[in-house]
Structure 1
Amino acid sequence: MVAQAIGTARAAGASGPILVRGDSAYGNRAVVQTCLRAGAQFSLVMTRNPAVDRAINAIEETSWTPVSYPGAVRDPDTGGWISDAEVAEIPYTAFASTPDRITARLVVRRVKDARYRDALFPVWRYHPFFTNTDLPIADADITHRHHAIIETVFADLIDGPLAHIPSGRFGANSAWVLCAAIAHNLLRAAGVLAGERHTRARGSTLRRKIINIAARLARPQRRPILHLPAHWPWVDHWLTLWRNTIGHSPPATTTF
């Protein structure tokens, strides 16, 4: 899957560096070797094990650097929001007992455990990832965290068409997923064309405010007229979408 994704990116015209980011499910030697063979960089979460813990414990206390995130991120352990942390790095040889051993950077992010606010000494939680990028340590951590952006897309799809897969047949489900992706892209484009907060709104919000409206289509003298609700709070956004897609203002006979 990783090799295919890298190949597709190259075929689509991506000529710059490609970075493969992933959680602990992808922090294995098969993925790392695939990235190296394809000429891609990697930034992968490492599962905590004795070797990783020894590397973390070997980091000098003076090596930790504060990092502030552009936006708050959700803590994977507590579910709370955090906006700052400390990061450090140390050389680490992964898969040391295999022929695919590789030495790269083990970047570790640590945050104070909010469950021990009154502790005499700070209690830290550590989150390591393995990378061969040459980014400064704070930038490497911020870049690695960007992989979570895709989760908003997953949430939108699961909240919509992927809430129910319609068939037990693989072919039918593949067609359904393809249609879901097309619908998602069209919905996001409609949100951008509607402007303002709709450019970042969730799919359910766009469906409620822009798509699923109580409108009535009439055809007096075979001329289609769309009658929209009176005192509709999102009329300006819908008209913006109309103008950006149709190219002109609705006729004066359209009512709200």
Structure 2
Amino acid sequence: MRLLIVEDERRLAASLAGGLAAEGFAVEVVHDGREGLRRALDREYDLIILDIMLPGMNGYRVCAEVRATGDHTPILMLTAKDGEYDEAEGLDTGADDYLTKPFSYVVLLARVRALLRRHARGGGAPAIVLGDLTVDPASKRALRGDVEVELTAKEFAVLEHLAINAGQVVSKAQIMENVWDFAYDGDPNIVEVYVSALRRKLDAPFGRRSIITVRGAGYRLATDGGAVHGGAAAGGRG
């Protein structure tokens, strides 16, 4: 599999490239955001490791430009920052996962493999239809009626897990265990960021309320795909 690393810290980039190459990946490295964008658009990769703070063009812009072309290559963003604000900003640009520096190479490798598995998963699985909401694991597409809703790989994975368990309460811990695929050592409240993103994309534009918060327990995806605002669906935010 081919990986692209866009990282201006040359020692870190070389270390990551060496380790991933030893695992059998074909790795290319660039140190500038504009060059990273050019490579991402000109060549096919199975995954992109993208730093946020880059010369020429920052990682948020690179990610947004890649997604604007309809390219759904998994993107793992590296950041020296921390906090939900950065997570939310990256989600809006289409990133699939995050890793905050400093990090363990073992954890990075686990996340790379998890993203690759998730991207390849779903062939032959039947679509899940909940009212006007369709979740298709095979094509990794979500639709409201005939309108496709653009989701990142991680957003889709969260939605897919909720859809498989539609009508049942799913805890944050269960979502993390089934979606992250590794021993995540960050804030479990990151699940709230992804749920909020799904609500912004799946519900708000269509006047729906499909993901219901069950206080102190988790989330439940409505079996009817969400009632129109003013209907019987109830729940809180977060």
**Same fold at TM > 0.5:** no
**Which structure would you say has the larger Rg?**
1
Q: Which has the higher contact order (CA 8 A, sep 6+)?
A: 2
More helix by share: 1
Superposition TM-score tier, normalisation by shorter sequence: under 0.3
So what's the TM-score if we normalise by structure 2?
0.22
